[in-house]
Amino acid sequence: MTNAAADPIPLAQALIRCRSVTPADDGALDVMEAALRPLGFTCTRLRFNEVDNLFVRRGTEGPHLCYAGHTDVVPPGDEAAWADNPFAAVIRDGMLYGRGACDMKGGIAAFVAGLTDYLNANPGHPGSISLLITGDEEGPSVDGTRRVLEWMAEHGHTPDVCVVGEPTSQQVLGDTIKIGRRGSMNAWITVRGKQGHSAYPQKADNPVHRLTRVLHALTSTPLDQGSDWFEASTLQVTGIQVDNTATNVIPAEARAFLNIRFNDRHNSAALTEHLRAVLAEHAPDHEMRAQVSGESFLTEPGPFVEALTRAVERSTGVTPKLDTGGGTSDARFITHYCPVAELGAVGATLHQRDECAPVEELRALAGVYRAVLEECLR
């Protein structure tokens, strides 16, 4: 054991150099195991269908803190348009470049560095520490965190609290802790009518007119005005399709695609019934298919959230805002097992070309995570 601060950058570079475009692993979990086994962690590889996952744990007693993250990344797009190879992990002008530098290989490396420093200072630490690392966060999220959590519950590894390392900070490191997320669902609607000549509309039933009435009814009245911790729910029309190339033909059917982001005033079942009721009123001959990405959830402020807040204040001097905005994350699965919150780097370039993270920010994030361990494991 030494007192020298562990540096997250070499591990972040090693992870970025794995071309782990979801759901490929390309050795990323091998890199993680090589970093964690020497720290005294028992490593378990979990493969579900085509997805590789990793669960590691040190200790058997409570309190049990879990860190959740993902080593899969989104595709880089046109690699020739990047300033450097997106998987080369180049450092230039104090920035670490590469796919995953921001979301979220850099964050994982920062946690391992902070963990190393914590263990150096606390070799006989209380409680247990685990990491849940998936290769299916940027993809369908079917065979990743959700399946690993089921396995953890079956084998006595359910944590007491969980920190998800998504890049949640907005402007400066530590300014935001996410304590919940809105729910998300999609709907695919088909409205049927009766095809006919546009000069004789009385002999036809225009499904486009019916569909526009449906969409007007759905979008003209807000779903709500927000709640204590959430902004207002939103319903967005994300597409309209009519397969009709003739200007004088009333089509037989029209389709629309919706995305709803909803707060804790709703659940997906009630929203699905709301859509069906509006469709029944304006377009009785219809089909609708709904798919739910996740329900809304909230981790009420309490001892866990207070511990995270203290950790951020101690290590950065910043008082974090508690927030529930943004899209979905794997925290939507974890919330069914234990209190969960998200705390990570500034997400300025996630999913962008030339994705990058400031080297010193990743080092500072390691300090935040060390403080999180100190505050939560007492």
Provide the annotated active-site residues: 72, 137
| Strands lying side by side in the sheet with 183-192 | 234-241, 253-262, 183-192, 286-294
- Containing 236, the helix (H) or strand (E) segment is strand 234-241
User: Is there a cis peptide before residue 63, judged by omega within 30 degrees of 0?
Assistant: yes
CA distance 173 to 191: 48
User: Is there a cis peptide before residue 201, judged by omega within 30 degrees of 0?
Assistant: no
Q: Which candidate, 56, 169, 167, places its Cα nearest to that of 112?
A: 56
Q: Which residues, 6+ apart, have CB-to-CB distance to 179 below 8 Å?
A: 229, 298, 299, 300, 301, 305, 322, 323, 324, 341
Residue 91 in tokens? 């450092």
CA distance 252 to 286: 12
* Residue 55 buriedness (CB in 10 A; 0-12 / 13-18 / 19+): buried
